[in-house]
Amino acid sequence: MNKSKIPTVIRKLAIEAGEKIMEIYEAGDLMVKAKLDKSPVTIADEIADALISDGLRAAFPESVLVTEEQVDTHFATSDTFFIVDPLDGTKEFIHRRGDFTVNIAYVEDGVPTMGVVYAPEQKRLFITDAVGVSFEELGDHNVDIVGEMKRISVSIPDDDALIVVASKSHLTDETRDYIGKYNVKDSLSAGSSLKFCLVATGEADIYPRFGRTMEWDTAAGQAILEGAGGCVVKFDNYERLTYGKPAFENPHFIAYAPGIQLQKA
């Protein structure tokens, strides 16, 4: 497989999926349903998923694909694969809060090495290049015209004045208690994988997550953050969060800018 073309392909598919998502968002008929796990899914999730998965299979037919909306892909057994969340932050989408993203990542040997996170309502696009360096694309995010690529980097954190970002829809008491162990200057709230991106750009210093997440929720965001010099580690042992786990379910984790003195629970 020609891995050098991955950023071009996933950028195009993320923008195209974002356009479809915004058409539905602005029209207002979201056609919300409940999945077997009781989580919500909309027509936008399904249309974006079909567009992205068809595009990846056409461009990389030999590659394994895992996508949230296709249960038959959840039985894949590989440590190298594409992983997709076509509409991360479905609750934000339904409640019209804008913090939803398109997530596409490429995982090699259990590590997300390339990815794109596109927030079409907020008009922010984050992407890695072919060697895993992260950028924010400025401009109008035209499918055929690449805008200015601004290299992004994590902050140099001040342990006495940290900026914390946490989930907008899934903030648990455990997370609040953990945040309380730090000297916090400011707290941000964001939905979807944008939390990783805010740490990647230096707009926040740390994002702790105590609660259920799946690998398609985090892979693209982790690729962006690590490509900007950040870290994502499992809470119990501070080892790097890896992919291809049973059922694609994550443990609790912490995403952060290096230099922070991590606290125990």
Contact, 115 vs 221, CB < 8 A?
Answer: yes
Q: What is the DSSP string of 121-148?
A: TTTEEEEE-TTS-EEEE-S---SSS---
- 3-class DSSP state of 216: helix
Which bin fits 155, alpha (ψ -120 to 50), beta or left (φ > 0)?
beta
User: What is the extent of the structural domain holding 118?
Assistant: 3-151
Predicted pLDDT at 56: 98
Residues 133 and 49 in one domain: yes
Are 45 and 108 within one domain? Answer: yes
pLDDT tens digit string along 33-84?
777 676 888 899 999 999 999 999 999 999 999 999 999 999 988 999 999 9
Q: Are residues 14 and 60 in the same domain?
A: yes
Give the ranges where 60-110 is alpha helix by DSSP (H). Answer: 90-94
CB burial readout 47-76, b (16+ within 10 A) else e: bbbbbbbebbeebbeebbbbbbbeeebeee
Asked whether residue 141 falls in the same domain as residue 64, the answer is yes
Residue appearing with tokens 């913090």 = 99
Instruction: For the chain, list residues with pLDDT below 50.
Output: none
Q: Is the pTM of this model over 0.85?
A: yes
For residue 39, what pLDDT is reported?
80
Domain count for the chain, please give it: 2
pLDDT at residue 31, rounded to an integer: 76
Q: What integer pLDDT is reported at residue 95 of this predicted model?
A: 86
Domain boundary among 151, 178, 196: 151
> Could you give the dihedral angle defined by the CA atoms of residues 35, 38, 43 and 47, in that order, rounded to the nearest 10 degrees?
-50
Q: Euclidean distance between the first and final Cα of the chain, in Å? A: 43
